[in-house]
Amino acid sequence: MPATRILPSPAPFRKRRGVAQVLVPVLPSEVVIATQPVTRHSPPATPESQATASHELLSYYDALFRARGPQHWWPGRTRFEVIVGAILTQNTSWTNVERAIVNLRRERLLTPAAMEKVPTARLAKLIRSSGYFRQKARKLKAFVAFLRQNYQGSLNKLFATSTEQLREQLLAVHGIGPETADSILLYAGQHKVFVVDAYTRRILERHNLTHPKATYEEIRALFEQNLPADPLLYNEYHALIVHTGKHHCRTHQPDCANCPLSSFLPAPVAQTLLSVSPQPTREPSSRLATRHAPRATSESPNTSHQS
């Protein structure tokens, strides 16, 4: 039996700031690092390539967690508040969402029943700070109507549904695309789904771990097929990615020199992105073969949760 190491990962909605422990296998040191570039038609993953991918992704997680620690995501007092936040944060910053949630909390509208009863025009006014407020008011109304019609308004019943079935249902709700659906599943329901956003794609592309034409489902499969299936790990990993994307791996003026992942940058990319004295870099890391996954069949427009 292989040795194990412990990766800390805080559980969502814990009342104390304790740290849960996620056990994952330590991969053998003799694993060969592949150097094949990712192509859109990568061959099916072999046991060796899958072990390499797992090793690579866990190494990134280790570096981020050592540098930044637990992120205590998702910010929300209740599961319904997390769902509301996941919808409101489409195409805007979390600061703008917080202002909208404060308004909803003040008006005691952060329950499915209350939100369904409030007039759409009033709801839109209360969430104005989140941008696209009329559209988002209709999206919130669509979700609470879906919850009542299919689950008698019960979040317990909602999240007791199998992940695959519930994800398909959420994608059919007006205004909920893959990223929003997966955020609801992971952060509110603690389902084993990895959330992919613009930060995830940008970091992977700059590190040559995926290709620009990779689909959302392909990138999600890359994580889910190569990491332990643990929602606590998925939660913490995505939160760390968001922090890195906001503070280091920015679209313009990236701060690679101070990024916990700077040593993982392939040398040619590092020379382009580093704006200060070059940091020690390694040779181009393994290029993780993105395994093809089925495309989503009901995809609503949905962009990065964080700007």
Between 118 and 38, the higher pLDDT residue = 118
pLDDT of residue 41: 36
* Mean pLDDT computed over 260-282: 65
Q: Which residues of 79-108 are buried (b: 16+ CB within 10 A; e: fewer)?
A: bbbbbbbbbbbbbbebebbbebbebbeeee
Q: Quick one: pLDDT at residue 271?
A: 60
Of residues 158, 179, 160, the one with CA closest to residue 169:
158
More confident call, 294 vs 197: 197
Q: What is the mean pLDDT of residues 77-98?
A: 96
**100 pLDDT above the threshold of 50:** yes
The span from the CA of 180 to the CA of 160, in Å, is: 18
Is 82 or 15 the better-scoring residue by pLDDT? 82
pLDDT at residue 151 greater than cutoff 60? yes
Is 44 or 278 the better-scoring residue by pLDDT?
Answer: 44
Identify the pLDDT of residue 266: 85
Residues whose CB falls within 8 Å of the CB of residue 163, separated by 6 or more in sequence, listed in order: 185, 191, 192, 193
* Spatial distance between the Cα atoms of 60 and 197, rounded to a whole number of angstroms: 17
- Residue-level pLDDT at 289: 40
Confidence bin at 45 (pLDDT 50/70/90): low
**The pLDDT value given to residue 31:** 27
pLDDT exceeds cutoff 80 at 214: yes
For residue 161, pLDDT beyond 70? yes
What pLDDT score does 192 carry? 98
pLDDT for 274: 58
The whole-chain average pLDDT of the chain stands at: 80
What mean pLDDT is predicted for residues 136-162?
98
Q: Is 229's pLDDT higher than 60? A: yes
Domain boundaries, the chain: 4-72+196-218+227-273, 79-188
Q: Does residue 96 carry a pLDDT above 60?
A: yes
Cβ neighbours of residue 34 under 8 Å, at least 6 residues apart? 48, 49, 52, 286, 287, 289
User: Is residue 267 very low, low, confident or very high in pLDDT (cuts 50, 70, 90)?
Assistant: confident
C-alpha pair distances (Å), 37 with each of 9, 47, 114, 211: 31, 18, 52, 9
Mean pLDDT of 141-164: 98
Do 301 and 54 meet the contact criterion of CB atoms below 8 Å apart? no
Q: What is the third-level CATH fold of 79-188?
A: Endonuclease III; domain 1 (1.10.340)
Fold of 4-72+196-218+227-273: Endonuclease Iii, domain 2 (1.10.1670)
pLDDT at 128 over 70: yes
Please tell me which residue, 289 or 226, carries the higher pLDDT value: 226
Given a cut of 80, whether residue 86 has pLDDT beyond it is: yes
Give percent above pLDDT 90 in the chain.
67
pLDDT at 120 over 70: yes
In this prediction, residues 174-179 reach a mean pLDDT of: 98
Residue 54: the pLDDT is 87
